[in-house]
Chains A and B, each alone.
Chain A
Amino acid sequence: MAANTEDFVIVGAQNSEANEHISKPALSFWQDAWRRLKLNKLAVISLWFLVFILGFALVSNFFVTQNKANAFDSDNVGKYKNLPPNSGLPIPGWDGKLKEPGATDTTDPYKNNNVKQNFILGTDNIGRSLGKRVIVGLRISLLVAISATFIDLLIGVTYGVFSGWKGGWVDVVMQRIIEILSSVPNLIVVTMFGLLLGNGVTSIIIAIAITGWLSMARQVRNMTLSLKERDYVLAAKSLGESSTKIAIKHLIPNMAGTIIVQIMMTVPSAIMFEAVLSAINLGVKPPTASLGSLISDAQSMLQFYPYQVLIPSGVLVLISLAFILLGDGLRDAFDPRASED
């Protein structure tokens, strides 16, 4: 079976330089992840939403101060209290009209009380603007979120890398400690420290710090165990790099994806624990508003003024939803093999 070579033309093998030509620029790990993340519309929307919220919270410091949100007109409580959200436009449910339970017709408290101002998100039971209080609460939630992230990075990553790198009995003891800590329900630990340290943002952050880093430490330790067997670590070791330097230069950058995804999971639970603490009266000190305290304060009036509960709840849910969606997107972007398609 002699092949009829004339019928076939060998293509592209003559020019060896052309074979080596790379038509597209090589993508770094981060560029590649970003390219994949951009394909996930929900994750991108969440990312911009979170950037916007963060920027908004920062800028809001200049025009909505803590005092402004807490101040109320003690002579006119009756006039301003429990005003429903009013956009100033005839949008049903957002036009400043309220239907009292049991009543058939809607009433217009703004007109009846002769209030000129429009409260976009309404007012609370002593006439404070709910919009301002939600903004202050948002700031506190984001502060808790940022602190939780730092603690996760600081304690969780260090603990995990150390435990995995050292190995042996050090690892066993450190893992036992994690096991013991995680067998106590978070709520209990958070409550205990809330009780011990009194009300306030600092005590919330400390309470969350004590419980929040456990799963990060576990994940990082598992990653360290597998990464430390890699050749580049061996190379660094034989070149005489110190362990700290190997951890910072080689190990942590290589598990950045895992770490970021884990943070996306820690943050919503930290925000939720702030709300939980506030709901059991261990949150921020009373005149200060946090999303959780707004929800729990207004809960008793749910039947009559549902917007006072639903607005802060909605904000809380939107933030944690954005973090979860972005986290999902990032997980797929960093590890395309894990996602099915």
Chain B
Amino acid sequence: MVKYILKRLALLIFTLFLVITATFFLMQIMPGTPFNNPKLTPQMIAQLNKAYGLDLPLWQQYLHYLVNAFRGDFGTSFQYQNQSVSMLIGQRLPISAQLGAQALVVGVIAGLLMGAASARNKNNKIDGLLGVVSTLGISVPSFILGIIFLYLFGFKWPLFPVSGWGDSFSQSVLPTLALAVTPAAVVTRFVRSEMIEALSSDYVQLARAKGLSEKEVVNKHAYRNSMIPVLTLIGPMAAGLLTGSTLIENIFSIPGIGQQFVSSIPTKDFPVIMGTTIVYALMLMVMILITDILTAIVDPRVRLQ
């Protein structure tokens, strides 16, 4: 187990190194410069380049960036004066993390409940309705849901505030719901099929033959076993949440890293773009790693290599 985790960590660090290298060189061949204000004289541009270390040879810039990146220092933002990228990201990360975590919790719980309800009522009206809901849930992208929620519950029936973050909990309701729908739908479909399989398995037959009540059979035997595989979904779902939250933050004016990322694209604020990319990749990799380890702990049948 320890060996497995160490191996995975080594792969993670290697991948991170590749991601940093790739983003660095991609940024180098990017067209355009951040200092394109026509008022700047050539001397001033040279001075700015020097101040940001852009006059050094490429390999020195790269090594410098690489070493600093592993220390968690992604340089200084071009856009905001004297603001380090790590500080910018550090301020915004908790907001995005909270939004993502809220959405994941709401989505997974809703999915577990709906999936179980669907499997228990297999092939009747409730199952059909939940099937329609979950199919819609996976086919409507979260940013469109965000816009629809914003219109319905923000403007048409103003139940919740339409923008901002941190002043009150109600501000987070709409973005959380918009993000939670996709995970909920994915989990619903997954739990349903897992549980239908479990309900026809031998150990459930045995539990029935023992004379347990249907409630006990379902809750104690079938349901518990169908919940484990849901863990494996959390990694991929986290990736979806990252994408979704970027746009959702934009729609609801939430000051998270997604919004930061989007706003630094037109201004060509390379250090911020690179920093955000690396943080995103790291977050996703850590989520996948945690998912895999948890799955291995919970389900001993999963063979570790």
Q: A: which residues have CB within 8 A of B? A: 101, 176, 179-180, 183-188, 191-192, 195-196, 198, 268, 272, 275-276, 279-282, 295, 299, 302-303, 306, 309-310, 313, 316-317, 320-321, 323-325, 328, 340-341
Contacts and interface: CB of A to CB of B under 8 A. Distances in A.
A176 B173 CA distance: 39
A131 B191 CA distance: 41
B147 interface: yes
Nearest to B123: A341
A302 B26 contact: no
A281 B266 contact: yes
Given A302-B150, A321-B135, A340-B193, A179 B250 contact: no
A303 B140 CA distance: 21
B246 A310 contact: no
Q: Kindly state the interface size class of chain B when it binds its partner.
A: 35 or more
Given A180-B15, A180-B18, A340-B196, A188 B280 contact: yes
B97 to A, nearest CB: 15
B139 interface: yes
B101 interface: no
A280 B144 contact: no
Interface of B: 11-12, 14-15, 18-19, 23, 26, 29-31, 122-123, 135-136, 138-141, 143-144, 147-148, 150-151, 155, 193, 196-197, 200, 239, 242-243, 246-247, 250-251, 261-262, 265-266, 273, 277, 280-281, 284-285, 288
Contact of B144 (A185, A186, A313, A328): A313
Identify the 7 closest CB pairs spanning chains A and B, nearest first.
A321-B139, A187-B243, A320-B139, A313-B144, A183-B285, A272-B141, A303-B155
Nearest to B238: A185
A192 B25 CA distance: 11
A340 to B, nearest CB: 5
B280 A185 contact: yes
Given A187-B246, A276-B243, A302 B155 contact: yes
B114 to A, nearest CB: 17
A295 B144 contact: yes
Contacts of A317: 139-140, 144
A106 to B, nearest CB: 15
Given A101-B155, A302-B150, A186 B243 contact: yes
18 contacts: A176-B11, A184-B280, A185-B239, A187-B243, A187-B246, A187-B280, A192-B23, A195-B265, A196-B26, A198-B31, A275-B144, A276-B243, A276-B247, A279-B143, A280-B247, A317-B144, A340-B196, A340-B200
A44 to B, nearest CB: 15
Given A302-B147, A310-B151, A313-B147, A183 B284 contact: yes
B135 A325 contact: yes
Contacts of B193: 340
* A contact patch SS: helix
A71 B220 CA distance: 65
Contacts of B151: 302-303, 306, 309-310
B26 A192 contact: yes
Contacts of B19: 183-184
A191 B140 CA distance: 21
Contacts of B123: 341
B65 to A, nearest CB: 16
Contacts of A321: 135-136, 139-140
A183 to B, nearest CB: 5
Contacts of A282: 265
Nearest to B261: A191
A185 B281 contact: yes
Contacts of A268: 139
Nearest to A191: B265
Given A280-B262, A280-B265, A299 B251 contact: yes
A180 to B, nearest CB: 5
Contacts of B144: 275, 295, 313, 316-317
A183 B138 contact: no
Contacts of B262: 280
Given A185-B242, A192-B26, A295-B144, A279 B250 contact: yes
